[in-house]
Amino acid sequence: MAIMMTDHVLTWTDSDGTPRASGVGYDRPSAGHQKEKLENQGCTDVEVTQAKPGVLPESER
């Protein structure tokens, strides 16, 4: 059976209103930790989504 690799990527809005997106893919626990760090820094609309390896999110909303 094949193992399907899945990355988790983040999108968020900085405290100054600038939309951002992660430049790397994370495993699920690391993505959750990064989400918590961003929220503690005052970022809003922090979302973790699944992506295929090598595919990064767009920062536009």
Residues facing 47 on adjacent strands: 11
Each residue's pLDDT tens digit, 7-58? 999 999 999 999 999 988 899 999 999 999 999 999 999 999 998 877 777 7
Q: Exposed/middle/buried for 48, CB within 10 Å: 0-12, 13-18, 19+? A: middle
Whether 8 and 28 have beta carbons less than 8 Å apart is answered as yes
Does the pTM surpass 0.75? The reply is yes
